Amino acid sequence: MNVNKLIDHTLLKAFATESEIEKLCNEAVEYNFKSVCVNPTHVKLAKKLLIGSDVLVCTVIGFPLGANTKEIKALETVDAVKNGADEIDMVINIGKAKEHQYDYIEDEIRLVVSSSVGRVVKVIIETCYLTDDEKKEVCKAALRAGASFVKTSTGFGTGGATVEDVKLMRETVGETMGVKASGGIHSYEEVEKLVEAGATRIGASSGIKIMEGSKENA
């Protein structure tokens, strides 16, 4: 398993500095991670730092609460693409999901997908706040709206990725979409279990620790 190319090397702290973003990008190049995942304000810098590498720039939209209007999420996406984002991780309106307004969820995802102009769009459903039935319905909405991935968590909620949620999401979307596990993933052993459950991408701030674990298990 080429675990490095599963990892979105992530730094989304509110107080992240440019020097920390530079360190993140240098690490991503050294380990040849799939992408760096940064807040929108750092997209332009990350893109510049990663010139000449095949590491992608991923950013977050409506993050971390998902409570922006869908029109603002679309504008954020347009701006992120203009600044060089290769992938978009958007947070759904979780309150609308709790109200079972799945048409609204589908509409906002479709708007972000359209605004991304062909970029990979991952839909963060924030599993810790949803029932299993709600998780399934949101995954179906993401599938109908043309998203590329469904993703477990922001890492800022009350819980992160679980094997059970990844299995449920994979069973719901089948093989037509990616499933990104994110939130509280710190070890290679956890990654192995999540991939076995159906994850095809891993979001983690512990990418280097995971890589060290992969060498130990080689």
The residues annotated as belonging to the active site are 89, 151, 180
16/141 Cα distance (integer angstroms): 33
Q: Which candidate, 217, 215, 201, 213, places its Cα nearest to that of 33?
A: 201
75/54 Cα distance (integer angstroms): 27
1/144 Cα distance (integer angstroms): 30
Q: How many CA atoms lie within 13 A of 54 on its CB side?
A: 5
